[in-house]
Chains A and B, each alone.
Chain A
Amino acid sequence: MNLNKLLEIAKREGATEAEVYYSSSKMTSFEIYEQDMDSYSSSINHGYSIRALFGGKCGISYSEDLSNEAFEACVQRCKENASINESEDIVEFAKPQPVHEVQTYHPELNEIDLDEMKQLMMDIEREVKERDSRIISVSNCSFEMSENECIIKNTLGVDLKRRINFVVAVVGCEAKDENGVVSAFKIEVCFDLAKLNKEKFVNEVTEEVISKLSPKRLISGQYPVILKNKVSSSLLGSLSGMFNAENIQKDLSVLKGKKGQKVFADNITVIDDPLLKDGYSSFGFDDEGTPCQTKVLVEKGIFKQALYSRTSALKDGVNSTGNGFKSSYISNISIHPTNLYIQPQDTGYDEMVEGMSKGLIITEISGLHAGLNPLTTDFSLLASGYFVKDGKIEYPVNLITIAANYMEMMNQIEAVGNDLEFSYNGIGSPSLKLSNIAVSGE
C-alpha cells in the first residue's frame, strides 16, 4: 500500500495540496445461544479517501480498492467534485506539529484466547438464566474484539498513525411474571480483560431485569426527577451538536451568539477531554491531523468554547480544537466531540434518592434519533424507571414519556451527582436531579 503514490497522482493532476486518510479494521465476534457458539464472524476491511485542492476548491472521493487504476479513478472523481464545489469555505490542511501520546492500543488484547472467551460467555449465559426462575431467556450473549489502524498523510508533511483496539461483551435477557415480559441489556467495552468481571456482569444484568418486573404506569403530570447518569449522558450525546462550530455558523445551534453568556445552571460544567486515560473516545490527533486538546466548553453555566475543525476555525479566525473527525473513509470531515462530559459534584446517588419525598428515577430513555429536536432541543421520549416515595424505591414504571426543553431543563438542575459514568461513545455524565419534568402516562 503506497499512499504517497496517491498524493503524487493528485499533484500530477494539478492539485495544489492533498491529504489522504486510510483506515483498516479487523473484527472478530461470536454469539452464544443455549450453551453453544451459535454464530461467529470475522472481517477485514480497508479503504481510503482523498481530499485535494484544485484551483482553491476542495474535492473529496473514496475507494476500497488499492490498485493503481483505482487510485487514478479516485483522484479523477476528487477533481470532478472539486470542480463543482461552490463553497467559499477555505480548506487548509494541517502542518506537521507535535501531538500528545494517547494510549489507545493494548498489545495484551492480542493475546486473547477465543476459547476462553467462549467459555466465559457461556458461563455468563448459564448463570444469568439460573439466577432466577423468572428469567426466561438470554436473547443476546455476544463478544467482539476490534482493531483499527488509521493513517493520515498530506503534502505538507503530516504523517500520522494511530491504532485502537478493544473488546466488547454484551448480554441481553428477559424476565416474565404474571404482568408480562421485561428486558435488560448490558454492554461492557474493555481495554483490559481483567475488568471483564463475570460476577459483576451477571449480578448487574439480573438485578436490573428482576427489578423491572410488574411495572406500573403513572398518571400524567409534573414529577420531580432524578436522571440516572446513563440517561443524562444519552441526552447530552444526542444534543452535542449544539457545540459544533459548523452548526453554530449555519445557525443550526441554540448556542449561536451565546458565547460568554449563561446557558446552563451554575452547577453545570461541560468538558471535552480527548486525552483522558482509557477514555472510550481518546485521541492524540483528529482525522485532519490536528493535535487534540482538552477544553472547557461550559464553565459554571457560561458557554466558553465551541468545537472546531480546520475549516470552521478559519471562518471564525481561531485555531482548530482538533475535533475534525470522519466516521469512516466514506464520510466527509465533520465536527465530533471526543470524551465529552458533565463534571461531577459531591451529591451521592443514594443521597439524591433518599432526599426525594415523591418522584421518579429515570433509568432508560428510547427513541433519541426521533423524539428529540436538535434544532430547538425540545424532546419527548419513551422512558422507564422507578417511582420513589419517602426516599425509597416503591415500584418500577414503564411506558411513560418525559418531555422538556433541554436548555430550560439544564437551567433547573437542583443537584449534580458524584457518579460520573461514560457511555461507549465517550459521552459522560453524573446523575442529575431536577425539580420537575412533564411526564405522560395514563
Chain B
Amino acid sequence: MLTKECAYRLLQKAISTGGDFAEIYAERKFTSSYECLNGKLEKANSGETVGVGVRIYQGLKSVYCSSNELDEESLMEMVGNLSKSISSDERIEVKEFHEELIETKHPILKPLKQVAVKDKIALLKRADKAMREYDDCIKTVQNRYSDEVQDVTIYNTDGKMVKDHRERTRLYLMAVAQEGELRQDAGRNPGAHQGFEFYDDMNIEELARETCESAITMLHAKDCPSGEMTVVIDNGFGGVIFHEACGHSLEATSVAKGNSVFCGKLGEKIASDCVTAVDDGTIVNGWGSGNVDDEGNPCKRNVLIENGILKSYMVDRLNARRMNCEPTGSARRQDYTFEPTSRMTNTFLVNGKNTFEEIIQSTKKGLYAKQLGGGSVNPSTGEFNFSCREAYLIENGKITEPVKGATLIGNGADTLLKIDMVANNLLRAQGMCGSSSGSIPADVGQPTIRVSSMTVGGKGGKLE
C-alpha cells in the first residue's frame, strides 16, 4: 500500500519544519459481520478500509493527520500541510529503516479470511437452535458473528519499521425471554485475537443455554433495593469495575496533564492489600493482545498495583515525554483515523486467597452481582458507574433471590480501598472500550471480589 521508499520521503517531509520525531501508521483492515434473527440470516456485510495516519512531535506538541487518498502526491501534500503547524530551528535526520521481524506470540491456525462464510454462519445457526429450543419463553434470538483481519505497518524517524498482523473474531449471543408483559434480555460475547480455531473447543450449545437461563432468571426478578451495602462482584466481566473505577485513571491520557486522582501516587498505597492488578498485552491470543502496540513497541505485561501499592501507569510515547518516563507498550487506536494514546489491553485483578464459597458465606447481607453490563468513569473526579445484568441478594451467607435494575456507583479511589476479599477463580471476559483514540477491543477480568460497602441504585426501596 505504501512503499518503504515513499514512507521515508514522507517522514523527511514531516520533519522538514523542525519536528523532532515523526511516525507513519499504515493500515488495511478487512471486516465481515453476519447477523441471524430467529433462525434466519438477516444481515451480511463485509468490506475493507485502508489508510494512513502521520504524526509529528515537537517537544510536547503533537500534530496528526490521516487520509485514505494514498497516492504519493496527495500524501506529500497532506504531510506538507501538517508540518506547517510545527516550527523550530531544530533539524533531525530520518534514520534508515531496519525492519524488525517479529515472531508472532498469537498464533493464527485457521486464518479468518480462508474460512468459508458458511462455516461462520453455521456457528450462528448452532447457537440459534440451542437457544430457541431451550424454553418456550425465549421469544427472540438475535446472534451476530463478526471478525476483522488487520495489517499494520509502522515507520518512524528513529528507523523503526515494524509490521503486525492481527485477526480477531467474536460471537454475540442475545436472547429475549418473555412472559406476558414481562421481558428480559441477556447476552454473552466471547472473542479472541485468534483464528477460527477459537471456536473449536467452545461449547456453543452450553453458552447458548447459559444465555437463555440468564434471561429467564431475570424475567421474574424483583426490583433491586437501594442504598449502601456489601457487594460481591463475580469473576469475568465483573472486572469492568476495575476497568472503570481505576484503569482509566491510570492511563497516561489522564495522568500526564494532572487530571487523574492517582497523579503523583506511584509507590503509595491506593488499594487494599489484597489487590494486585495487571495490564497484560502479551496474553496468548487474548482479545486485547498484540505483538506490538500501535506505535510499534512490543506489548508488555505491566503490573499496575501490587498488594495495594501503585507500581505503574500505562504510558504512550508522547505522554512519556511529558511524564519523563518510558512508554509501556500501551499505545492503541481504533484505526488510522485516530492518533494513538495510552489505553488498556487485557486488564485484570490477579487471584487472591479466598474461595468463592468463603466470600458468600461470610457475607451476612448484601448484593451478589453475577453479570455486569458496561459502565463509565469521569477520570478527573474518579466517579464511576456500572450496571448489573444479573444480580441476587445475599442473606445470611446464602445467595437468595434475583434482583433487577441494579447500578453500582462510587469513587474509584474509595472503592479500591474497600475491596476486602479476593477469590482464586480469575476469569477474563471481552469488551469494547471507548475513549479518545476510539473504540478498541479490551479484556477485563478478575476473580470474585467483595467490596465492603458500595452505593447500589435500584428502585426497590431499602434493603431489609
Contacts and interface: CB of A to CB of B under 8 A. Distances in A.
Of A62, A172, A331, A370, chain B has the most CB atoms within 10 Å of the CB of: A370
B375 to A, nearest CB: 6
Task: Specify the main secondary structure of chain B where it touches its partner.
Answer: strand
Contacts, number: 230
Interface in B396-417: 404-407, 409-411
Given A64-B51, A366-B378, A40 B85 contact: yes
Interface string B188-231: 00000000000000000000000000000000000110111000
With most chain B CB atoms within 10 A of its CB, the pick from A36, A181, A402 is A181
A199 interface: no
B188 to A, nearest CB: 16
A84 B44 contact: yes
Given A84-B44, A85-B42, A370 B376 contact: yes
Interface string B49-93: 111000000001111111111000000001001100100000000
Interface stretch (B104-112, B161-169, B293-301, B452-460): B452-460
A266 interface: no
B411 A367 contact: no
A402 B226 CA distance: 10
A54 B346 CA distance: 43
| Residue from the set B47, B339, B462 with the largest chain A CB neighbour count within 10 Å | B47
B373 interface: yes
A401 B409 contact: yes
B176 A47 contact: no
Nearest to B436: A140
B386 interface: yes
Contacts of B65: 41-43
A398 B178 CA distance: 36
Which interface class (under 10, 10 to 19, 20 to 34, 35 or more) fits A?
Answer: 35 or more
B17 to A, nearest CB: 13
B19 to A, nearest CB: 12
Contacts of B178: 251
Interface in A83-106: 84-89
A330 B31 contact: yes
Contact of B375 (A77, A370, A438): A370
A252 B407 contact: no
A369 B431 CA distance: 13
Interface in B85-134: 85, 117-118, 121
Interface string A356-393: 00000000001101111101101111100000000000
B45 A367 contact: no
Given A251-B140, A366-B378, A438-B226, A376 B63 contact: no
Nearest to B373: A370
Given A64-B49, A381-B407, 11 more contacts: A180-B381, A251-B178, A252-B140, A366-B385, A371-B387, A378-B405, A382-B384, A401-B226, A438-B458, A440-B455, A442-B228
A59 interface: yes
Contacts of B50: 64-65
A145 B36 CA distance: 39
B127 to A, nearest CB: 16
B259 interface: yes
A382 B385 contact: yes
B131 to A, nearest CB: 15
A438 B386 CA distance: 17
A139 B381 CA distance: 12
Contact of B226 (A46, A47, A63, A220): A220
Nearest to A398: B383
Contact of A367 (B376, B405, B455, B462): B376
Contacts of B363: none
A39 B407 CA distance: 37
A330 B226 contact: no
B456 A440 contact: yes
Most buried by B among A59, A366, A382: A382
22 contacts: A37-B85, A39-B62, A42-B78, A44-B69, A44-B78, A45-B67, A45-B68, A85-B42, A86-B42, A87-B42, A137-B259, A220-B226, A251-B178, A370-B386, A370-B387, A373-B185, A373-B405, A399-B455, A400-B409, A401-B458, A438-B458, A438-B459
B346 to A, nearest CB: 20
Nearest to A51: B45
Interface string A68-88: 001001100100110011111
Contacts of B37: 250
A85 B41 contact: yes
A252 B175 CA distance: 11
Closest 6 CB pairs of A and B: A401-B457, A440-B226, A382-B385, A62-B47, A370-B374, A81-B44
B410 A42 contact: no
A158 interface: no
Given A61-B45, A64-B68, A382 B185 contact: no
